[in-house]
Amino acid sequence: MGNKKNITWTLILYTNPQKTEIFKIIRCESICEMGFYLNLNPNSVSNYFHKLVKPRGVLKLCDITQHYKTGYLAKSYLSGF
C-alpha cells in the first residue's frame, strides 16, 4: 500500500473528548508518521481513520483528515478555515 505521493494527512489534537477546543494541528506525510506522534501502531491509526474500530485512548482526543497536496481537500474538517 504505502504512501501515495499526492496525499498528506492532518492530525488534529483536542484538549477534551468532546472535541470542542483544538490543542494542536500537525501535518503528516504518512500514517506511519501519525503513529509515531501518537505512539501507536500505524495499523491502529489506519483502522481508526477508516472507522473499522471505535476510538480508544489517545484516539478519543483526535481527528484525522486526508487531503491532496494540490490544495483540493478530499476529506477535511479544515476546509472552512
Cα–Cα dist 47/37, whole Å? 16
Amino acid at residue number 51: K
Residue 6 CA to residue 8 CA, distance in Å, equals: 7
pLDDT tens-place string over residues 11-65: 999 999 999 999 999 999 999 999 999 999 999 999 999 999 999 999 999 999 9
